[in-house]
């Protein structure tokens, strides 16, 4: 965006600087508008895939296996919460990836992340990657901290506050609801 001060400064300095400044400013504005509009898409895909992958991993190991972990952590109703967590991760992951019901599904997803932070990751500090050794068998890492959980929470907050972006089911749902509201308003007698 070209501001009045940039144009007047350029004109005072000979005009050549003004033309370069305008070209750079216009190019930056065009680039940033198109890129900013698309930024929710990679966030949706990464968060959605990450959650779904974690949910499917728990499901493939068996819900009883995850329930045993929850029971060892002394969480109440371990079998119920195992299934709720698996369903939240899989269904929520798909919804976020598609941009569907983002504000709604973000609530249980955030709860899962907060429970993971406070029951599992907090004692291990912030960092999620703690390289302990490299052996002939490969790298060995320590227990992960809460860094990744915070990144997921930040992405969910950005998607809720900033919207799911283009190519999202939520946009289609909003258009349908708006069309239904307008149609209903036409048929209401005054």
pLDDT in tens, 117-133: 999 999 999 999 999 99
Global pTM reads 0.77
At residue 167 the predicted structure's pLDDT band, cuts being 50, 70 and 90, is: very high
Task: Report CA dihedral (63, 54, 117, 69) to the nearest 10 degrees.
Answer: 20
Least confident of 21-30, 124-133, 180-189: 21-30
User: Is the per-residue pLDDT at 10 higher than 50?
Assistant: no
Residue range 10-36: mean pLDDT, rounded: 57
Q: Distance between terminal CA atoms of the chain? A: 46
Residues of the chain above pLDDT 90, percent: 74
At residue 25 the predicted structure's pLDDT band, cuts being 50, 70 and 90, is: low
Q: How many CB atoms lie within 10 A of CB 92?
A: 26
User: Is the per-residue pLDDT at 136 higher than 80?
Assistant: yes
Token pair of 146, please?
């809460």
Hunting for tokens 């493939």 — which residue is that? 60
């Amino acid at each position: 965006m070209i501001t009045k001060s940039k144009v007047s400064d350029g004109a005072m300095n000979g005009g050549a600087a003004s033309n370069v400044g305008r070209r750079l400013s216009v190019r930056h504005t065009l680039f940033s508008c198109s890129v900013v509009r698309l930024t929710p898409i990679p966030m949706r895909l990464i968060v959605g895939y990450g959650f779904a992958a974690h949910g499917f991993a728990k499901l493939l190991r068996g819900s009883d296996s995850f329930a045993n972990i929850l029971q060892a952590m002394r969480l109440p109703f371990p079998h119920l919460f195992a299934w709720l967590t698996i369903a939240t991760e899989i269904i929520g992951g798909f919804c976020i990836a598609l941009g569907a019901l983002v504000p709604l599904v973000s609530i249980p997803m955030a709860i899962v992340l907060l429970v993971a932070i406070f029951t599992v990751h907090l004692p291990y500090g912030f960092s999620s990657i703690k390289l302990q050794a490299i052996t002939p068998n490969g790298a060995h890492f320590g227990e992960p901290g809460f860094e990744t959980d915070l990144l997921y929470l930040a992405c969910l907050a950005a998607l809720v506050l900033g919207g799911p972006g283009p190519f999202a089911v939520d946009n289609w749902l909003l258009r349908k609801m708006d069309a239904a509201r307008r149609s209903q308003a036409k048929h209401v007698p005054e």
